A and B are shown apart, each in its own frame.
Chain A
């Protein structure tokens, strides 16, 4: 079982709609979670971090964490074509090693 699992997609969402990206993790002791966005051919960039159960909002992005069910999600409201990218879910293993899922490819159609 992979430590972090994501559906590879592609997930196609119409412009202006809500995109919902999901992720599950295997280590029940995981405490910290990060969402990265990666455009094709580019390096990942951090967009959200979440450490506590519940929701965390930042602009059009909302990260959700449910430790009991071991899943993390990222919601993107009012999706824009510029949101088309691969989204990587990750968790902190130990003190300082981040383990990544394989990513979900998101496509926003005009």
Chain B
């Protein structure tokens, strides 16, 4: 069966520090992968999506970047965090056909 792993679960980082969040998927090949951010009390904002290795599409210009170095690995990064980067970061992969997404357990990032 397919599973999606995301880590770390929580993270507290100072302003100006770098960020690296990792997401891996098991049990499927060539999945479409997505990074979303959810600010406190807000909806889900699509940040990046990837349809294959090295293929990244950015939805919103921001302080973040994404990479897909391997088929089942999706990484979200920042060189210098801002206070506004705080939020709940969710990785998702697209099921077969039009079955919606399966989300990872998320990373709660607090920038202080």
Contact = CB atoms under 8 A, between A and B. Distances in A.
A43 to B, nearest CB: 4
A100 interface: yes
B7 interface: no
A18 interface: no
B103 A44 contact: yes
Contacts of B101: 34, 46, 98
Contacts of A96: 32, 49, 51, 94
Contacts of A51: 98
Secondary structure at chain B's binding surface: helix, strand, loop or mixed? Answer: strand
Contact of A98 (B51, B100, B104): B100
Interface string A78-110: 000000000010101000111111110000000
Contact of B98 (A32, A99, A101): A32
A55 interface: no
Contacts, number: 48
A57 interface: no
Contact of A102 (B32, B43, B49): B43
Interface string B28-51: 000010101000001110100101
B43 A103 contact: yes
Nearest to A92: B98
B105 interface: yes
Max count, chain B CB within 10 A of own CB: residue among A42, A43, A92: A43
Given A43-B105, A96-B49, A88 B98 contact: no
19 contacts: A34-B100, A36-B100, A43-B105, A43-B106, A44-B44, A44-B103, A46-B101, A46-B102, A49-B99, A49-B100, A96-B51, A97-B46, A97-B59, A98-B46, A98-B100, A99-B46, A101-B43, A102-B42, A102-B43
Interface of A: 32, 34, 36, 41-46, 49, 51, 88, 90, 92, 96-103
